[in-house]
Structure 1
Amino acid sequence: MLFCLFTTIGHAAGIKLVQIPADASGPAIKGMVWTPCAEPAEAIPFGPFTLQGRRDCPTVGDKLPLVVISHGHTGSYIGHHDLAEVLANAGFVVAAINHPGDSFSDSSREGDMSVFVERPNDIKRLIDYMLGTAPDAARIDPQRIGFFGFSRGGYTGLVLAGGNPDFVHADAPCPTPRPPVCDQIERGEFPTTPLTHDARIKAFVIADPFDVFPSAADLENVNAPIQLWASEFGGEGVLPHTSPALAKALPRMPDYHLVRNAAHFAFLAPCSARMKKDVPAICVDPNGFDRAAFHKQFDASILAFFQANLH
């Protein structure tokens, strides 16, 4: 009867803001969590965005799968809200964060090697929080954890999956103005401790990743199932030819999708009219690409992938 009732009135994504406390491994991290909710969705203004869900709605279900999200260069936890809403509506808990030092609200270290070191650990801390002290921790199945990452978030996921970057030999251009990380690489200033891998994550969706894994040896320990998305034209330091090369270098053939006529920012959630006016560089797609139509297929494909691999 409850299932029939929920089907009749429709599901929403319960939406809540969270903060992971500072600890010995890093500063406080701001985030947002989406959860299955039995109430109908409503439009929620959130800055320039409009979310679809219910604020602080009681979470429905137990032993729920968890998907964690890592944004791109100076992005935010809200950048893939449409995907989070689709997953939560389908019974997933979804958690996204602002990476300290490399987010829209804090870009203080966006061009420094330290953010490439800390990003995977940020996600590990997010998972620790979601399974530990988060309000919905008891409702999450720790054996069913997935990951979505875009751009630098894709890099983050490949490291978490077991990849070890080779910054020296990677085909990654240095932009102008030149960020500190380019000089750090030239001087050989690399992390002295291993980067964070996390075997708790069982499946990965990687979209237009920043690829610093030039050889198969860099990825030999990446064995989890991966769905890999690539734009035809790239952008923001992502070169069009690197994602096909990455697909071939992975030890396990990914579920590979090349998105024709798309540039890098096509993977961000469709923008409002206000955002298209204010930030056209990330909101207006070239060549008449229909981002809204693409995201219906994109989000549905990701949902199907996680349903198949987090069971």
Structure 2
Amino acid sequence: MGKDLPLIVISHGYGGDSLGHRDTAQALADGGFIVVAINHPHANYADMSQANGMGVLVERPADIKRTIDFMLGPSPDAASIGPRRIGFYGFSQGGYTGLVVAGANPDFSKLPPRCADPKVTDCPPADQRRPFQRIQPPRTWTHDPRVKAMVVADPLSTVFLTADSVKDVKIPLQLWGSQLGGGQDAEPENVAKLAHLLPDKPDFRVVPNARHLSFLTPCPSVKSSTKPSCSDAPGFDRTAFHKEFNAEVLAFFREHLMDPRQP
């Protein structure tokens, strides 16, 4: 397989799964990266039993750390991975996950109430919803300095709206936002504010006419176009966008993880 190859860990969003960004994963694998995409326990497409609890948000960064531990330890690919060439890609709550891994400390008090049942699609007004399941935030968050570069798309940003919350995020970061939004707690204005608050200026891109879910892999057929996850704004070509998007993500990771001048 090779030696000292870079590793990218992919984290899905709310209700997503390990296949939600398969075209991006394929582009990275074709480009010489080892790629692993995970399902976050009890908060993925097949199991949403704890998806609306704060516990899942606390555990998400720990899921990434455990994945890296495995890939560098008992994994059969461990001998091929360069331990100083680890990157991360995350979308929506996966973007939140990456920011915490990179050193951010979220403020959960900024999260609005949510529907108690993750299967409910027609939520009552916010003042009639059950509060977001509260637990005491941890004294220390799971950060992982082994991650050296990161791409995040439309991250959950509500919990990172102060400079103090992101002051320790110092790694190279490419941040993507959708112009039209539509993601829970990933409003375009908050993503833009996050870009401004990060201490090291990120490579910030706003995708014209894109909705939040436009970052998911293109749908395979016309019949899928009616699904919410496949619905784009009129005139938006998700397939064409992903071709450009994947090329930019690949170039970013190559610059920061494959450049022989990198330590």
TM-score in terms of structure 2 length: 0.89
Residue 232 of structure 1: aligned partner: 179
Is 1:116 aligned to 2:57, yes or no? Answer: yes
Q: Is the 8 A contact 2:52 2:133 kept in 1?
A: no
Could you tell me which of 152, 156, 164 is aligned with 1:210? 156
Q: Is the 8 A contact 2:150 2:172 kept in 1?
A: yes
1:68 is paired with a residue whose SS is: strand
Distance (whole Å) between structure 1 residues aligned to residue 247 and residue 224 of structure 2: 24
Residue 276 of structure 1: aligned partner: 224
Shift of 1:236: 2.6
Alignment of 1:108-257 (within 5 A): 108-169=49-110, 174=114, 176=123, 182-185=131-134, 189-211=135-157, 212-237=159-184, 238-257=186-205
Q: 1:6-52 CA deviation, whole Å, 9 max, x = no partner?
A: xxxxxxxxxxxxxxxxxxxxxxxxxxxxxxxxxxxxxxxxxxxxxxx
Q: Is the strand fraction higher in 1 or 2?
A: 1
Residue 23 of structure 2: aligned partner: 82
Distance (whole Å) between structure 1 residues aligned to residue 220 and residue 113 of structure 2: 31
Question: Which structure has the higher relative contact order (CA within 8 Å, separation 6+)?
Answer: 2
Cα 1:267–1:183 change in 2 (3 A) is closer
CA-based RMSD of the aligned residues comes to: 1.9
Distance (whole Å) between structure 1 residues aligned to residue 105 and residue 129 of structure 2: 21
Shift of 1:195: 1.6
Shift of 1:181: 8.4
Cα 1:181–1:216 change in 2 (3 A) is farther
Q: 1:107-133 CA deviation, whole Å, 9 max, x = no partner?
A: 110100110000000010100011011
Q: Is the 8 A contact 2:102 2:170 kept in 1?
A: yes
Q: Is the 8 A contact 2:179 2:188 kept in 1?
A: yes
Residue 4 of structure 2: aligned partner: 63
Could you tell me which of 14, 34, 52 is aligned with 1:73? 14
Shift of 1:275: 6.2
Shift of 1:65: 0.2
Q: What 5-or-longer segments of structure 2 have no aligned partner?
A: 116-122
1:286 is paired with a residue whose SS is: coil
Q: 1:48-81 CA deviation, whole Å, 9 max, x = no partner?
A: xxxxxxxxxxxx2211000000000010101111
Distance (whole Å) between structure 1 residues aligned to residue 106 and residue 54 of structure 2: 12
TM-score in terms of structure 1 length: 0.76
Q: 1:278-304 CA deviation, whole Å, 9 max, x = no partner?
A: x61011212221000000110000000
Q: What 5-or-longer segments of structure 1 have no aligned partner?
A: 1-59
Q: Is the 8 A contact 1:184 1:190 kept in 2?
A: no
Q: Is the 8 A contact 2:114 2:132 kept in 1?
A: no
Shift of 1:180: 8.8
Q: 1:71-96 CA deviation, whole Å, 9 max, x = no partner?
A: 00010101111111111111100001
1:98 partner amino acid: N
Cα 1:180–1:132 change in 2 (3 A) is farther
1:79 is paired with a residue whose SS is: coil
Q: Is the 8 A contact 1:111 1:180 kept in 2?
A: no
Residue 120 of structure 2: aligned partner: none
Q: Is the 8 A contact 2:113 2:129 kept in 1?
A: no
Shift of 1:147: 0.2
Distance (whole Å) between structure 2 residues aligned to residue 303 and residue 91 of structure 1: 10
1:182 is paired with a residue whose SS is: coil
Higher Rg of the two aligned structures: 1
